[in-house]
Amino acid sequence: MYLLLAHGPNLNLLGERKPEVYGTTTLADIEAEVAGVANGRGAAVLCFQSNHEGALIDALHSYRRVVDGVVLNAGAWTHTSVALRDAIEAIQLPVVEVHLSNTHRREAFRHRSLIAGVCIGQVTGLGRDGYRVATNLLLDYLEGRP
């Protein structure tokens, strides 16, 4: 079983950008942790990050026949991208939306996720632990667990 761990804009700067909001964990740290969780359950993880909306959409399209599901932190595109929402719906794979910070405790424009309605779940506000929760949620779903 293969999972895609996908990240949107500015997430390549994790560990440096707003550590008071996002913590000091780097993207490489998150990728390694997700791979560890997945590997422990017999799955492998492919990782992708882009600051370009079309590149993320292209990656979702390209990986749709390679992976069984997606853990996605779309960053700011969560709140703005109808195109990303449509791509998630089009690939017909289970996607779990994840955010390091609690988007509902931040600026009002971050309270609404345009992608939540086409994802199987949303994990927000648990920091780096949210990725572990999201990965297990996705694997449980793929294994047919409630």
How far is 114 from 116, CA to CA, in rounded Å? 6
User: Is 111 an annotated catalytic residue?
Assistant: no
* Annotated binding residue 41: no
For the chain, the 3-state helix, strand and coil shares in percent, each to the nearest 5, are 50, 20, 35
* Annotated binding residue 79: yes
Sign of CA dihedral 124, 36, 119, 80: positive
Q: Residues 52, 61, 63, 99: which is the catalytic one?
A: 99
CB atoms within 10 A of CB 131: 24
Q: Residues 7, 22, 63, 131: which is the catalytic one?
A: 22
* Annotated binding residue 106: no
* Annotated binding residue 110: yes
**Order of all β-strands in the sheet with 95-99:** 44-49, 2-7, 69-73, 95-99, 121-124
User: Is 2 an annotated catalytic residue?
Assistant: no
**Which alpha helices (DSSP H) does 18-119 contain, by range?**
19-22, 27-40, 53-63, 82-91
Residues making up the binding site: 73, 79, 86, 100-101, 110
Binding site feature residues for substrate: 73, 79, 86, 100-101, 110
Instruction: Give the residue numbers marked as catalytic.
Output: 22, 99
